[in-house]
A and B are shown apart, each in its own frame.
Chain A
Amino acid sequence: NAGVTQTPKFQVLKTGQSMTLQCAQDMNHEYMSWYRQDPGMGLRLIHYSVGAGITDQGEVPNGYNVSRSTTEDFPLRLLSAAPSQTSVYFCASSYRQATYEQYFGPGTRLTVT
């Protein structure tokens, strides 16, 4: 099993550009989530999903969209990139009954200039 995969690993965007960060898992997990990791602030939840077709906002959802059309995939879309979105983004998944044990992807390092 590949676990949780994320693409790309690195990305540089100009302010105003849009892009999609890809996340996929092959563990048949119902729960998937996106976090951003910033120095001194830990991991903050952006959006999460408890199953296909169901998404909800986390702590810092502004500027990001998600959708969950399949169990396996949970892409994160940046609509109009801003320098404040420069961060490391992590996707994670877990069983719905055990969201405390999340399996993390390797992360995407995004820089917005």
Chain B
Amino acid sequence: AQRVTQPEKLLSVFKGAPVELKCNYSYSGSPELFWYVQYSRQRLQLLLRHISRESIKGFTADLNKGETSFHLKKPFAQEEDSAMYYCAFTSGSARQLTFGSGTQLTVLP
């Protein structure tokens, strides 16, 4: 069964420091991976998708098929990046998104 693992429940970094949120998946085919974010008192929303290879709010994520990873990175964290981040996965013709357990990021001043 396909699975998404986010090993860190909580992650704290200081403002201006680099941040990396880890995501690993288990799937033998060609996956599609995404990062969703939920800011305090806001709705869960799509942050970025691997296929678009874009940078959103300074965040990037590269799909590494060899390591089956899709880590989210930002070189200089900002306080407004504090949020819950979910890695999500879908594959082939599947209609469902499978979410990881989430990482709560706190950026300290």
Contacts and interface: CB of A to CB of B under 8 A. Distances in A.
Interface of A: 4, 31, 33, 35, 40-45, 48, 50, 58-59, 90, 92, 96, 99-107
B43 A42 contact: no
Contacts of A43: 44, 86, 99
Contact of B96 (A90, A99, A103): A99
Contacts of A48: 95-96
Nearest to B90: A100
A99 to B, nearest CB: 5
Contacts of B95: 31, 48, 50, 96, 99
A43 B100 CA distance: 7
**6 closest A-B pairs (Cβ-Cβ)?**
A42-B101, A43-B99, A104-B44, A42-B99, A104-B43, A42-B102
A101 B44 contact: no
Contacts of B102: 42
Interface of B: 6, 9, 32, 34, 43-46, 49, 86, 88, 90, 95-102
Nearest to B43: A104
A42 B86 contact: yes
A65 B49 CA distance: 31
A103 B86 CA distance: 14
Question: Which of B49, B95, B98, B99 lies at the interface centre, i.e. has the most chain A CB atoms within 10 A of its CB?
Answer: B95
Nearest to B88: A100
A107 B101 CA distance: 17
A110 B100 CA distance: 22
Question: Which of A35, A40, A42, A44 lies at the interface centre, i.e. has the most chain B CB atoms within 10 A of its CB?
Answer: A42
A113 to B, nearest CB: 26
A100 B97 contact: yes
Contact of B34 (A50, A100, A105, A107): A100
A58 B43 contact: no
Contacts of A104: 43-45
Contacts of A33: 96
Given A42-B102, A100-B90, A90 B44 contact: yes
